[in-house]
Structure 1
Amino acid sequence: MKILLIEDDPFIARALCAALENEAHTVLWAPSGPEGLEAVKSGSPEAVLLDLGLPGMDGIDVLKSIRAMPSPLCDLPVIVVTAREALESRLEGLDAGADDYVLKPFHTSELLARLRAVMRRKGPIAGEVLRSGRLALNTVTHECTVGGSSVTLSKREYALLAALLVRPGAILSRRALEDKLYAPGDEPEGNAVEYLIHALRRKIGSGFIENIRGLGWRIRKESA
């Protein structure tokens, strides 16, 4: 899923971008209100994470401007992410059209859960499902199915499978997969990727993920 983050604090922005990309999302970052509105129009995001204390234009005004845009932009899911904890500020954000409101500081797992909940309420989005034959992965709800049967994945199993399914047939090296799975500074164990792939094969079947000796792994291209 493509997410637009409108946040002026670069430290918070980098941390959020890393957390979201670790969940196989694509992130656009805008550090000011006007840049955020331009990114809504030109970047085709599927959801917006919006700070309120922004340079150039307050977040509430950004939110009101989004809701005043023509369809489908006016219906973009927007989660306000801010340090303004006063009840009046929360009510103002919700009244202006926010789908949810998360107070700083927060745990990224809570934000991701709220994002998934908002996306489920908004309904399905075109292009949200990655597929290869009988294997399908919903990038909003994180649901994995094989032949229509649901499979429960861990966070890193999901991220690894999503990375491979973005381009079925393309080979990803160990380093490329580690970059998708771990935040900067994290040191994965030497066999972490192999362990995850082994766990995935036990859940989805052994035939989907192919090892290309000396190069890496890929999802076999299969017709539905």
Structure 2
Amino acid sequence: MRLLLVEDTADLAEAIVERLTQDGHAVDWLTDGEQALKILSYQNYSLIILDLGLPKLDGLYVLKRLRAENNKNNKTPVLILTARSGIDDRVQALDIGADDYLIKPIDLRELSARCRAVLRRHHGEAASLVHYGKLQFDRSASRMSIGHEVFELPRRELCILDLLLTHQGRALSKSQLADQLCSFADHDELPSDNAIELYIGRLRKKLTGSGVTIKTLRGIGYLLYVEQ
């Protein structure tokens, strides 16, 4: 998944980026609200982690703009990350449209779990452990298993599998997959169509025996489905 972190404290932001990258996500990091609104006008994210006390534009203003009537089709989940612990601040952020609210100082393990929970709720899932055919995918441990065999997937294969499972029944194009694999910091490493095909091929081999396969829909993209 591709996430956006808007946080102006460098040490904290770097630690969060490192943790979420280890979880298999691509993370873009911005330091002020003005930058955030500009990026959000053209780039899609699976989740936004938003500080409130930001330079230039306050996080609550960013959230209001994101949830405004003229932007009502943008339903990207937002996790507020802030030092503001007052109940009024929490109520206001949640009423405006935040999906969760986490008060600093934070434990990175809790942040990671909260991100998974928000993403699950957004996609209508109840737990981090996903069963599909004979395949089990554990988002909290970032691994998949088939029977008793456990696979530790490279980050990009892990991300592709997560995306395909999250969008069950919907085909994802190569460009959609590539867009979610890389942050702006990785833009020089944006995977080519051939690279996406390579990742899909490797995943197909690892899915052998699971009853699940990745179907190529020519000219459209890739679809995960259970073999009949």
TM over 0.5: yes
List per-residue Cα deviations over 1:54-113 (Å, max 9, x = no partner).
Answer: 00011111110100152432x110010000111111112112211110000111121122
Amino acid at match of 1:45: Y
Q: What CA distance in whole angstroms lies between the structure 1 residues aligned with 2:89 and 2:20?
A: 26
Partner residue of 1:163? 155
Identity of aligned residues (%): 33
Amino acid at match of 1:72: N
1:70 equivalenced with 2:71 (yes/no):
yes
1:208 equivalenced with 2:180 (yes/no):
no
Partner residue of 1:204? none
Q: What CA distance in whole angstroms lies between the structure 2 residues aligned with 1:49 and 1:208?
A: 33
Say if 1:82 and 1:103, in contact at 8 Å, map to a contact too: yes
Residues 130-149 of structure 1: matches in 2 within 5 Å?
Answer: 143=129, 145=131, 147-149=133-135
1:61 equivalenced with 2:68 (yes/no):
no
User: Measured at CA, do residues 123 and 83 of structure 1 come closer, stay the same or move farther in structure 2, by a change above 3 Å?
Assistant: same
SS in structure 1 at match of 2:53? coil
Structure 1 unmatched ranges of 5 or more: 125-137, 169-206, 210-220
Q: What CA distance in whole angstroms lies between the structure 1 residues aligned with 2:28 and 2:100?
A: 20
Partner residue of 1:127? none
Query: What is the root-mean-square deviation of aligned Cα atoms in Å?
Result: 3.1
Residues 36-51 of structure 1: matches in 2 within 5 Å?
Answer: 36-51=36-51
Say if 1:90 and 1:101, in contact at 8 Å, map to a contact too: yes
Say if 2:5 and 2:50, in contact at 8 Å, map to a contact too: yes
**Deviation at 1:154?**
6.5
List per-residue Cα deviations over 1:193-212 (Å, max 9, x = no partner).
Answer: xxxxxxxxxxxxxx629xxx
Q: What CA distance in whole angstroms lies between the structure 1 residues aligned with 2:140 and 2:77?
A: 25
Give TM-score scaled by structure 2 length: 0.60
Structure 2 unmatched ranges of 5 or more: 145-150, 162-204, 208-212, 216-224
Give TM-score scaled by structure 1 length: 0.61
SS in structure 1 at match of 2:71? coil
**Deviation at 1:114?**
1.5
List per-residue Cα deviations over 1:149-186 (Å, max 9, x = no partner).
Answer: 43557726469415262579xxxxxxxxxxxxxxxxxx
Number of equivalent positions: 161
User: Measured at CA, do residues 35 and 110 of structure 1 come closer, stay the same or move farther in structure 2, by a change above 3 Å?
Assistant: same
Amino acid at match of 2:46: E
Partner residue of 1:28? 28
Say if 2:120 and 2:128, in contact at 8 Å, map to a contact too: no
User: Measured at CA, do residues 34 and 154 of structure 1 come closer, stay the same or move farther in structure 2, by a change above 3 Å?
Assistant: closer
Deviation >2 Å, runs of 4+: 69-72, 141-160, 221-224
List per-residue Cα deviations over 1:121-143 (Å, max 9, x = no partner).
Answer: 2226xxxxxxxxxxxxx9xx654
Amino acid at match of 2:93: G
SS in structure 1 at match of 2:88? helix
From 119, 136, 152, the counterpart of 1:150: 136
Amino acid at match of 2:107: H
SS in structure 2 at match of 1:56? coil
